[in-house]
A and B are shown apart, each in its own frame.
Chain A
Amino acid sequence: MHVSTDILTWVAVVLTVGIFSFLWKDNPFYKFCEHLFVGISLGYFISLTWYNAVYPDLFRPLFVQPLSEVSLGNKLLFIIPLLLGLCYFCRFIPRVSWLVRFPMAFVLGWGAGVTIPAVLQTSIIRQMQGTFLTPGIFARWDVFLWAIISFVGVVCSVLYFFFSREHKGALKVASETGIVFLMVGFGASFGYTVMARMSLLIGRFQFLLRDWLGLIQ
């Protein structure tokens, strides 16, 4: 056993114990750690955003770099994102709060235009292609079996969300089959979630036993 003498390790240990104390019951120590985490995360986010995005991409070319490095035309172009960004702060001034709609409209318009075709291609068209029953699936029995299961699963799960007709007869059988597939999906997600939470717990114990107490290599 070799207990760490690093002050930062001890700070991390105290905060870890503080967060774990919530497992016993809610307490002021836990609340302190939680608020500290939120505050530091936000401060870190603001600092990195300034030094990695706002300063090098806007402030520096607009106000710091001379005209020999950034032309007047480019400097004028930078004023557009500056004004759009400042419009976000108008939300705090009721008289001009409507100005926030300009940057919102820009972001939504640009975001929708860029994202919709990409998501359609990646998550719908390619996924639909993945469910097609092609001659290639007959090459091996296991490929054929999984292709059929995928096909039935997709069709039945989609039919479960078909609400324009009462679920009776064949539609009822299909939608109930769809529920089975959905439940299997939820079960897999739950199992993975348990695994994830355990991994995080193990990670913290590894830190306590290795970095702090030196009990493990």
Chain B
Amino acid sequence: MKFFDALQRIDRRIIYIVMGLLVIFPLVKPLGLGVSSGPRARTLFDAVDSIPAGRTLLISVDFDPSSMPELYPMLAALMRHAFARDVKVLLCGLWVTGAGLADKAVTEIPPEYGKKYGDDVVYLGWKAGIDAVILGMGENIKNVFPTDYYGHPLDSLRMMNEVVRLRDIPMAVAISAGTPGYTDWLNFAQSRYGLRLGAGVTAVSAADAYPYLQTGQLTGLLAGMKGGAEYEVLVQKKDYSRAYMPAVAAMDSQSLAHVVIMLLVIVGNIAYFATRKRGA
């Protein structure tokens, strides 16, 4: 029984150290556990894959640096997928603190495919207003964003001559870390303008997104870093990209950490019930 008492009094810092080591080890020496793609990621992939070349995919960057490890790999993989198929990418954001992250993606990814800013990709930036921004984009994007993130008038960007309002866009993907995010795109773009919408969300908010998937309001869902890894695998499988896959590289660590947490939960419960029985 002393053993169970001791189990319940493990210093939390020991658990942190064990967890840290278990996360670091597979990053340095990958275990090669592999990543399989689930139906939700495949649905989103197929939907993006079906966008005709030359048309535009809208990506809403609704996250900030605190959720970057989970969501940035999704953004990068989606952009690579689109560019590999000659689909144009229009980016905007509902999170002011995420403006720099979309800028990073626009700077780094299009050159990999020889894509030119203004012709193949445009970043609108961020505007205050959330629902007013989305509703305004439904009427005329130029009214909401007269200039892009870098100050170029939208009229001077060739890609924006073909994209006037949301109805000109065959599909959008909202990559969201919370509110505002995919729910606002559902409320004001999907239900009002019929915009086909996929979502990439943090694992914390994934459970809330499933009902929208079941009703068909969302076309595909990427949940957390695992969702990003699934999409990276799909993109690489079709030979759309040979770039480094940060989410896939993290999956061994994620799996090990989950195993340890499950063990801790089981052992903790056994110890609790053993000592409670003795107390009773």
List the interface of chain A (C-beta within 8 A of B): 23-24, 41, 44-45, 48-49, 52-53, 56-57, 111, 114-115, 118-119, 121-123, 126-127, 129-130, 150, 185, 188-189, 192-196, 198-206, 209, 215-217
Contact = CB atoms under 8 A, between A and B. Distances in A.
B28 A209 contact: yes
Nearest to A208: B24
Which 3 A/B pairs are nearest by Cβ-Cβ distance? Answer: A203-B69, A196-B203, A130-B215
B24 A203 contact: no
Interface of B: 13, 16, 19-20, 23-24, 27-28, 66-70, 96-97, 99, 125-129, 131-132, 135, 146-147, 183, 186-188, 190-192, 202-204, 206-208, 211-212, 214-215, 217, 223-226, 244, 246, 249-250, 253-254, 257-258, 261
Nearest to B64: A41
Which has the most chain A C-beta neighbours within 10 Å: B70, B132, B203, B212?
B203
B250 A202 contact: yes
B13 A23 contact: yes
Contacts of B224: 192, 195-196, 199
7 contacts: A44-B97, A45-B97, A48-B99, A48-B126, A202-B250, A202-B254, A204-B69
B188 A118 contact: yes
Contacts of B23: 198, 201-202, 205
Contact of B135 (A49, A114, A127, A189): A114
B207 A56 contact: no
Contacts of A202: 23, 27, 69, 225, 250, 253-254, 257
A126 B203 contact: no
Main secondary structure of the interface of A (DSSP, over half): helix
Given A53-B127, A122-B190, A206-B27, 18 more contacts: A44-B96, A48-B99, A49-B96, A56-B147, A57-B127, A114-B135, A118-B188, A118-B192, A122-B187, A126-B217, A194-B261, A195-B225, A196-B203, A198-B257, A199-B203, A201-B257, A202-B23, A202-B253
A194 B187 contact: no
A193 B204 contact: yes
A139 to B, nearest CB: 16
Contact of A23 (B16, B132, B190): B16
B114 to A, nearest CB: 24
A44 B97 CA distance: 7
Nearest to B188: A118
A188 B224 CA distance: 13
Contacts of B244: 217
A193 B208 CA distance: 12
Nearest to B246: A206
B249 to A, nearest CB: 7
B108 to A, nearest CB: 14
Contacts of A188: 207
Nearest to A57: B127
Nearest to A187: B207
A130 B126 contact: no
Contacts of B191: 118, 121-122, 126
Nearest to B252: A202
Contacts of B203: 192-193, 195-196, 199
Given A118-B191, A195-B224, A203-B70, A209 B27 contact: yes
A195 B192 CA distance: 34
A56 to B, nearest CB: 7
A156 B165 CA distance: 43
Contacts of B146: 56
A199 B250 contact: yes
Contacts of B261: 194, 198
Contacts of A114: 131-132, 135, 188
B128 A200 contact: no
Given A196-B203, A202-B250, A216 B97 contact: no
A199 B207 contact: no
Contacts of B204: 189, 192-193, 196
Contact of B215 (A127, A192, A199): A127
